[in-house]
Chains A and B, each alone.
Chain A
Amino acid sequence: MTYLLTSLVNGLVFGLLLFMVSAGLTLIFGMMGVLNFAHSSLYMLGAYLGYSIGRWTGFWTALLLAPLAVALLGASIERFMLRRVHRHGHAQELLLTFGLALIIHEIVKLVYGPYPVEYTIPTELARTAFNVNGLNIPLYRLFIGAVAVSMFVSLFLMMKYTRVGLIVRAALSQPLMVESLGHNVGFIFLLVFAIGAALAGLAGAVAGAFYPTGPNMAEDLGSIVFVVVVVGGLGSLEGALVASLAIGLLTTLTVGLDWTLAGALAPLGLSGWAASIGGPFSITLSSLTGSLPFIIMLFVLLVRPAGLMGERA
Chain B
Amino acid sequence: MKLYVRIALCLATGVVLLAPLTFSDRYANLAIRMLVAALFASAFNLLWRQARLLSFGHGVYFGAGMFAVVHLMRANEAGLNVPLILVPLAGALSGSIIGVLCGFVATLRSGAYFSMITLAIAELIYSLGPRWQALFGGEAGVSSMRLPSMGLSFAALNEVYLIVLGWSAVGFATIWFFAKTPLGQIAFALGDNERRLQFLGYRTHAVKVYLFALSAALSGLAGGLLGVAAENVDYTVFGPASSAAPVIQTFIGGADVLFGPAFGAALLTGFGNVFSDVTRLWLLYQGIAFVLVVMFLPAGIVGSLLMGKKRPLREAIANTLAVLLCSASLIFLCESASILLSDSYSSLRASQDGSWVSYRLFNMELAPGSPIVWGLPLIAALTGLIISWKLKGREETA
Contacts and interface: CB of A to CB of B under 8 A. Distances in A.
A and B touch in the complex (CB under 8 A): yes
Interface of A: 29, 33, 35, 81, 84-85, 88, 90-92, 94-96, 98-100, 102-103, 105-107, 110-111, 113, 219, 223, 226-227, 229-230, 278-280, 283, 287-288, 290-291, 293-295, 297-298, 301-302, 305
A279 B115 CA distance: 29
Contact of B108 (A81, A85, A96, A301): A301
Contact of A103 (B251, B287, B341): B287
Contacts of B291: 81, 96, 99-100, 103
A12 B254 CA distance: 45
B267 interface: no
B134 A278 contact: yes
A288 B341 CA distance: 38
A110 B54 contact: no
A283 B54 CA distance: 32
Q: Which 6 A-B pairs have the closest CB atoms?
A: A102-B287, A294-B124, A35-B112, A106-B284, A99-B291, A103-B287
A33, A98, A291: which has the most chain B beta carbons within 10 Å? A98
Contacts of A111: 337, 341
A138 to B, nearest CB: 27
Contacts of B146: none
B117 A301 contact: yes
A64 B127 CA distance: 35
A295 B125 CA distance: 10
19 contacts: A35-B116, A81-B295, A84-B295, A90-B111, A90-B112, A91-B54, A94-B54, A95-B54, A95-B251, A96-B291, A99-B287, A103-B284, A110-B337, A230-B116, A230-B120, A279-B135, A288-B131, A290-B127, A297-B117
Contacts of A226: 116, 119-120
Nearest to B52: A91
B54 A279 contact: no
A302 B105 contact: yes
B290 A99 contact: yes
A85 B293 CA distance: 11
Contact of B121 (A29, A229, A294, A302): A294
A211 to B, nearest CB: 18
Given A95-B247, A230-B113, A223 B287 contact: no
B119 A223 contact: yes
A93 to B, nearest CB: 9
Contacts of B132: 279-280, 283
Contacts of B111: 90-91
Nearest to B280: A110
Contacts of A295: 124
Contacts of B281: 106, 110
Given A85-B294, A94-B112, A102-B283, A223 B105 contact: no
A179 to B, nearest CB: 18
A45 B96 CA distance: 39
A96 B247 CA distance: 11
Given A33-B112, A223-B120, 8 more contacts: A81-B295, A102-B286, A278-B133, A290-B127, A291-B124, A298-B120, A298-B124, A305-B109
A35 B119 contact: no
B298 interface: yes
A298 B247 contact: no
Nearest to A306: B109
A92 B250 CA distance: 13
A230 B117 contact: yes
Contacts of B337: 110-111
B12 interface: no
A110 B334 contact: yes
Nearest to B122: A223
B291 to A, nearest CB: 4
